[in-house]
Structure 1
């Protein structure tokens, strides 16, 4: 049996002693044959090489709740005077390589030098479009934030940033982050790897933030599956004031459905959890899948209209845009 170099813990309902898994859900594992079938079909839409972005310059601290979209799954959450980054990626590529891999189409919605003091970093899983060691090194050097993440990801972080301050947990664990802030790690239907040999050896999750300014649920990457985990979030933690829900990287469905929701499923998650508002994330920055860059935005609008949900209740977040919530 393969050895897990990142995490050593007892088996559970989602860990077999070596690899994590999504209990009762369709497998996310995809072999070479499936990958070739996808890529050789040639169905990928052509994306622009770059899209104009007007970067925001955030305030140092915000008393209430404010979210600034950086791009993809990277957002600055400012809540009750505390500054939090989710899955921060300022690199040009989402890849282990400098010259190969998905290249950034939209510049970061905040210039790195314009970041306010960063207190906390939330990491959802170890894929390169979410856990970027170069960015974490820069953040550690400039801000020394506390980094919160699911099991095993701390080994990845510390290999690149040895002095990083990391706290980890399992699904449903509540981690105290200081300043009146806590995160509960929520289940997601996804997977992880850094190399082909370490598939599903680190855990993936969302983050349900409790703050004096409100509750924010950063969903993380997920497929919809049977929907059970989303109803359970509401039952255990309550309806969040704000949900940050992925809407992109979903085509073709036969390949992606088990691991990434499409806009229709994103709206189902919004309804399942009873969120007050939502921002659509995980679209328009890196071309990871086949759909056109703007397709998630158009499909989200269509689904919201059909469901008679006011469009200002679920907005596709644009890089550089600032969203304030009362």
Structure 2
């Protein structure tokens, strides 16, 4: 079995360590207090800072960036970190905007991370829809990531990316056996767009776990920002009413502490 250690740094940001590899998801390292505009009249304030500061992070081999155009997934300090990372994997449109050798992936396209003395990791982009039907033209492209490497006993490591539950997520359930799932939750909403959600709600999280059936489901992207409408309490309440088989899969990680998770 290949060892996996995950450190939830805050929001969508997590450090994933796999037998010498150090992978970072959606880098957000700005201090709290600032308001960020997301376009079309939407904005949000950052409420808490990262559990680990960017200078204390250490070397990063690759950044897995679900999308580059929203400050709660890539802020200024996170953007400043990108040139020092070995590789940056993101959407095709995001790679064009970022330049600097960023590599764009379309849904279900795969690339490979290779290094002497480390397991090879196949990284496959998975579909996301960052809002209601037909919202892509407004909110832009987003992807998730499935990581496959030797020694996985329970299946791939899947990072959902910012998405609601829709047919693309159901494709993940149909096509992949998932051992660890990092689920972007929060039930994101904005006053200007009313009840519309832009990330998974607690109810959708339960249904996603039922469909995908990961051995371990790790919530991220649920705290630290004003537009996250559902925090840990809402997720816990929803899972409390779910079957025991689903409840036992949920695992909360303490912020800033590396936790070994069976892969």
TM (normalized to structure 1)?
A: 0.66
Structure 2 portions without partners, runs of 5+: 132-136
Determine the structure 1 residue equivalent to 2:134.
none
**For the residues of structure 2 that align with 1:144 and 1:248, how far apart are their CA atoms?**
28
Determine the structure 1 residue equivalent to 2:242.
307
- Contact 2:162/2:184 (8 A) holds in 1: yes
CA shift for structure 1 position 94: 6.3
Determine the structure 2 residue equivalent to 1:165.
101
Whether 1:66 aligns to 2:66 is no
| Residues 144, 222 of structure 1: alpha-carbon distance in 2 compared, 3 angstrom cutoff | closer
1:286 to 219, 225, 230: 225
**For the residues of structure 1 that align with 2:44 and 2:141, how far apart are their CA atoms?**
23
Larger Rg: 1
5 Å matches for 1:136-215?
A: 136-140=79-83, 143-158=84-99, 164-179=100-115, 180-190=120-130, 199-200=138-139, 202-212=140-150, 214=152, 215=156
What's the CA shift string for 1:33-55, capped at 9, x where partnerless? xxxxxxxxxxxxxxxxxxxxxxx
Structure 1 consecutive aligned stretches of length 4 or more whose deviation exceeds 4 Å: 251-254
- Contact 2:63/2:85 (8 A) holds in 1: no
Q: CA RMSD in A?
A: 2.5
Aligned with 1:138: secondary structure? helix
**For the residues of structure 2 that align with 1:181 and 1:116, how far apart are their CA atoms?**
20
| Residues 204, 306 of structure 1: alpha-carbon distance in 2 compared, 3 angstrom cutoff | same
5 Å matches for 1:1-326?
A: 64-92=3-31, 93=34, 95=36, 102-125=44-67, 126-140=69-83, 143-158=84-99, 164-179=100-115, 180-190=120-130, 199-200=138-139, 202-212=140-150, 214=152, 215-225=156-166, 228-236=167-175, 238-251=176-189, 255-257=195-197, 259-289=198-228, 291=229, 295-309=230-244, 311=247, 313-326=249-262
TM (normalized to structure 2)?
A: 0.81
**For the residues of structure 2 that align with 1:94 and 1:217, how far apart are their CA atoms?**
30
**For the residues of structure 2 that align with 1:151 and 1:286, how far apart are their CA atoms?**
27
CA shift for structure 1 position 240: 1.3
- Contact 1:151/1:169 (8 A) holds in 2: yes
| Residues 107, 232 of structure 1: alpha-carbon distance in 2 compared, 3 angstrom cutoff | same
| Residues 297, 121 of structure 1: alpha-carbon distance in 2 compared, 3 angstrom cutoff | same
- Contact 2:47/2:224 (8 A) holds in 1: yes
How many residue pairs end up in the alignment? 239
